[in-house]
Structure 1
């Protein structure tokens, strides 16, 4: 009979992945590959002595998650792509080290239970992804702010041109009337172009597939609000955020932050100057609740039942004439439902709108 372990050992010894086998009953590692020296920076002969110190370095926010995945593993479930952070060794400065675990459980005989799998150092990859996510969040918020700042002057010029057109009707100057009409048309086309660009940025990133990853949602929401707070003077609104410092759940980070950006964009469009827009996050244990509340003009009662329909008849221009395709709310609802979440709202004319998003604590199906 072939000894498959010996056949794969040369591959394991040369791989950058750390391969290991752990004897559950004996509570010891019976095999670890050469990559241990590189990833842990200790000789692999000391692996069992190192284990208590390595477990003590597990990031506090990851400990409950790691315990839950270990429980699944011991129940016979295959655990794949579990990302955990190790804090620097005591007395050493530095950033956490990201490790990705894939582990299976094998029971050869009573008292002979093994956990075997791989560990990969993904620190550089995670730092790249985190930087890209941070850039995307800032890009989306900046686009919304810029679209508001750029559209505002065009709307004002259009309104002035319209006012002048009414005032000069008695002059019956066809050339001047045509010129003012051209100014109004050009301004409206410019506003539409700006909004089309922002809308396309949103829709192009809203494909039907979601890639779930474990995310601390709280700082992501806080960063968006902070960017908006920096532009309070130009936007003419007041922004605030309340929520815990940490709130972990599995979601498609980029897509969900697009949902938040789009809801905030709607609040900005329909909230008069000096209004307030509040973002709140609540950890309810089995699910997470996000609310976005504004003091805007509200949603008319007749529009509310069809708000989430595609090409909804509830679409309407913003207070500054901002264009809408009517696709935004249907896409938002689709993305929330892909996360098995729920979205609803409460609104009354001239009394503001509050959107609620409830997301369950999903884990990737593996």
Structure 2
């Protein structure tokens, strides 16, 4: 009859998953299975404790303090989410992703233990991040196209109104009917374009966040690069700055970029041709601050207190007659709060509007 220890040994032998037990009290690893040697060559199980500093040095510099902080929180029972870490033992080696799942335990002798697993999830992460990049580009492109395509329809609608005024004296029912068809078609087309873009964003507030540690500066830089390449389409200027160049935050990448795209879309709606829209990102001691500023028509003072209300009375068409549901700002606030962040704004009529988002680090 096999004893429990032998069963346990056979169960873990050959597993691609690294199992470990770390004594937080003694500051030493009590157990790792042989997957340790396959995951971190040329390391050996017998030297695992001597390898700890080397393993930490294999993480990118900006990740090392983060990893230690997260493991401390895990040992204190304050953190339960999977911990994703980047690993690059040598600068010329490809980046790998590790997923650490661990829980706090107390041994019979009172030692505080950290018990868990480590898996190589590089393939899954590359797939997810490629999908995230695609989604970000897709959403940004849709926002740009929605403004670009809506412009000609709004212009045709205005021309139809001009023809209607000039042909009223003719009292030609057929001509009046044709002009009305033109107006209805233009209006319905603009609404259809906007509803198509809004539909995915409206559903976002009902979806559970999937957080990951991302370089927010790189993500925003990619979004703003797409807007900058399309300046001629929307007749606006865009700029982006980040201090420092890399800013890491735990957030749902897709959902937060939807927030940014919606804020940028609103800025485009209410900024005259030739106007400037600027996005900035700043790392502060306990949080990051994101701003979206425009020099557009601003928000009337009487509408400002209800801007974030659901189906707010502050909803109004854009300068080109773009439709609004009144849900956008409410959903933006909801998504920011789900990230444990806060959002507020400053605005003056004919002077522009600046939105501020503060996210914890």
TM-score by length of 1: 0.90
The residue aligned with 1:331 is 331
Q: Which residue of 2 aligns with 1:364?
A: none
Q: Take 1:140 and 1:245, find their aligned partners in 2: how far apart are those partners? A: 24
- For 1:317 and 1:144, locate their aligned partners in 2 and report how far apart those are by CA, in whole Å: 16
Q: Secondary structure at the match of 2:82?
A: strand
Residue in structure 2 matched with residue 217 of structure 1 by the alignment: 216
State how far apart, in whole Å, the 2-side matches of 1:58 and 1:273 are.
47
Give the Cα–Cα distance (whole angstroms) in 1 for the partners of residues 115 and 174 of structure 2: 83
- 1:305 aligns to what? 305
Matched, 1:278 2:278: yes
Residue in 2 aligned with 1:162? Answer: 161
Deviation per CA, 1:186-210, whole angstroms, max 9, x where unpaired?
1111001000101102112331532
Change (3 A) 1:233 1:17: same
The 5-angstrom pairing of residues 177-216 of structure 1 reads 177-216=176-215
Match of 1:87 in 2: 88
Question: CA separation in 2, counterparts of 1:23 and 1:71?
Answer: 12
Q: 1:77 to 1:106 in 2, by over 3 A?
A: farther
Which piece of structure 1 moves more, 67-76 or 291-300? 67-76
Alpha-carbon deviation of 1:248? 1.8
Aligned length: 357
The alpha carbon displacement at 1:26 in A equals 7.0
Cα 1:76/1:147, change in 2 over 3 Å: closer
CA distance in structure 1 between the aligned counterparts of 2:330 and 2:182, rounded to whole angstroms? 34
Q: Which residue of 2 aligns with 1:267?
A: 267
Q: 1:160 to 1:72 in 2, by over 3 A?
A: same
Specify the alignment match of 1:176 in structure 2. 175
Cα gap change, 1:189 to 1:38, in 2 (>3 Å): same
State how 1:139-150 maps to structure 2 within 5 Å: 139-150=138-149
Q: Which runs of 5+ in 2 are unaligned?
A: none
Deviation at 1:38, TM superposition (A): 3.0
How far apart in 2 are the matches of 1:145 and 1:22? 51
Contact 2:281 2:289 in 1 (8 A): yes
Distance 1:237 1:5, change over 3 A: farther
CA 1:157–1:94 in structure 2 vs 1: closer, same or farther (change >3 Å)? farther
Give yes or no for contact 1:69–1:79 (8 Å, CA) kept in 2. no
C-alpha RMSD of the superposition = 2.3
Q: Which residue of 2 aligns with 1:70?
A: 71
CA contact (8 A) 2:19 2:118 kept: yes
**Counterpart position of 1:314:** 314
CA contact (8 A) 1:88 1:97 kept: no
1:33 aligns with 2:46: no
CA deviation map 1:313-357 (0-9, x unaligned): 111111111111111111111111222221111111111111111
CA contact (8 A) 1:29 1:47 kept: no
Give the match's secondary structure for 2:13.
Answer: helix
Residue 137 of structure 2 corresponds to which residue in structure 1? 138
**Mapped partners of 2:7, 2:329: distance in 1:** 55
Q: Is the 8 A contact 2:56 2:64 kept in 1?
A: no
Distance change >3 Å, CA 4–CA 295, structure 1 → 2:
farther
Q: 1:30 to 1:309 in 2, by over 3 A?
A: closer
Q: Secondary structure at the match of 1:168?
A: helix
- Matches of 1:78 and 1:356 in 2, distance apart? 28
| Structure 2 Cα separation of the partners of residues 229 and 274 of structure 1 | 13
